[in-house]
């Protein structure tokens, strides 16, 4: 069941990738995340963006001096991410099975992604696992106590019987006032359709209370530092810090772990990466490393 849902999610976001807001969105998220990840804490640090989509949020961190690894389940999104973030390392992979050893990254972000996975808690624990002690983890999750929760569970069963690509453009345009107030810009018809695809037609969306997410953090040694309500409180943005001391003098680099046998590091060559123990291969295509486990 979980594998089937993962495949549905992958297919859905390849067909309807999350919106691309351009310069406005990059600038907005660059400034928004500054309170969670100050400049002095991310300069030349290795950060993983779990569920990066087209990579606009990552771009804002890169502009502030961070080194980024962008991971997403949608290959179509990553092809655009590769164009936007030429300096980033780009991984086609699952948030539920991150192909990295423990403590691989200085910091981690996952913005609006884990609640679309078959197991949000497992994804949360994976993000924590690959973050080094002392590192910051920023997580954006749908709020259980929100009107959006009611809207989604009321309309999603009905809407799933209607093909998203059959929705008339005039209906999509009725969303413009909401979009303008939320994003500060207008979207074209394709982008509006993609936004609906993420909010109502998505194969999976779960909603989580602050107490639930705080408990997840305690399970894996995270301290909840701050919480910020997001637009109309439909989501919460959490800032956790992983317990332990941060080694500020150590410069981390990407290390890939074999998803078949757990061996690391993988051996790099012109075709991609190979496990020296079991021979499993991660292929490399156009600068994107394929780590989707077969």
Residue 105 lies in a domain: yes
Distance between CA atoms of 203 and 205, rounded to whole angstroms? 7
Tens of pLDDT along the chain (294 residues) come to 688 999 999 999 999 999 999 999 999 999 999 999 999 999 999 999 999 999 999 999 999 999 999 999 999 999 999 999 999 999 999 999 999 999 999 999 999 999 999 999 999 999 999 999 999 999 999 999 999 999 999 988 888 789 999 999 999 999 899 888 888 888 999 999 999 999 999 999 999 999 999 999 999 999 999 999 999 999 999 999 999 998 888 999 999 999 999 999 999 998 999 999 999 999 999 899 999 965
Altogether, the residues listed in the chain come to a count of: 294
How many domains in the chain?
Answer: 1
Please report which helix (H) or strand (E) contains residue 124, including its range.
helix 120-129
Residue 288 within a domain = no
Task: Tokens 């297919």: give the residue.
Answer: 11
Report pLDDT for 150: 96
* Domain range for 106: 2-11+20-146+205-254
How would DSSP label each residue in 238-279? EEEEESS---TT---------TTT---SPEEETTEEE-TTT-
Question: Residue 221's pLDDT is what?
Answer: 97
Determine the pLDDT at residue 179: 87
pLDDT of 274 reads: 97
**Residue 25 within a domain:** yes
Q: Is residue 276 part of a domain?
A: no
User: Which residues, in sequence order, are bridge partners of residue 141?
Assistant: 236
The verdict on residue 123 lying in a domain is: yes
pLDDT computed for residue 293 by the predictor = 66
Write the CATH number for 45.
Answer: 3.40.50.150
* Cβ atoms within 10 Å, residue 155: 12
Q: What pLDDT does 125 receive?
A: 98
Question: Would you state the pLDDT for residue 160?
Answer: 77
């Amino acid at each position: 069941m979980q594998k089937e849902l993962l495949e549905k999610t992958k297919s859905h976001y390849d067909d309807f990738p999350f919106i691309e807001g351009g310069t406005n969105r990059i600038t907005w998220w660059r400034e928004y995340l500054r309170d969670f990840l100050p400049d002095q804490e991310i300069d030349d640090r290795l950060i993983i963006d779990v569920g990066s989509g087209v990579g606009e949020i990552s771009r804002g961190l890169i502009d502030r001096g961070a080194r980024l690894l962008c991971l997403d389940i949608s290959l179509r999104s990553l092809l655009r991410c590769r164009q936007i973030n030429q300096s980033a390392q780009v991984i086609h992979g699952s948030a539920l099975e991150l192909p990295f050893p423990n403590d691989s990254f200085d910091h981690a972000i996952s913005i609006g992604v884990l609640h679309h996975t078959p197991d949000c808690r497992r994804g949360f624990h994976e993000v924590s696992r690959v973050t080094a002690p002392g590192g910051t983890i920023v997580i954006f999750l749908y709020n259980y106590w929100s009107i959006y929760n009611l809207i989604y569970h009321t309309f999603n069963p009905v809407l799933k019987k209607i093909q998203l690509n059959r929705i008339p453009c005039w209906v999509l345009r009725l969303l413009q006032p909401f979009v303008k107030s939320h994003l500060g810009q207008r979207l074209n018809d394709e982008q509006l359709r993609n936004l609906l695809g993420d909010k109502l037609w998505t194969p999976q969306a779960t909603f989580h209370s602050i107490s639930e997410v705080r408990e997840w953090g305690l399970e894996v040694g995270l301290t909840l530092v701050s919480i910020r309500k997001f637009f109309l409180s439909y989501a919460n943005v959490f800032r956790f810090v992983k317990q332990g001391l941060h080694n500020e003098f150590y410069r981390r680099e990407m290390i890939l772990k074999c998803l078949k046998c757990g061996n690391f590091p993988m051996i790099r060559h012109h075709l991609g990466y190979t496990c020296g123990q079991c021979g499993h291969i991660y292929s490399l295509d156009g600068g994107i490393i394929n780590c989707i486990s077969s």
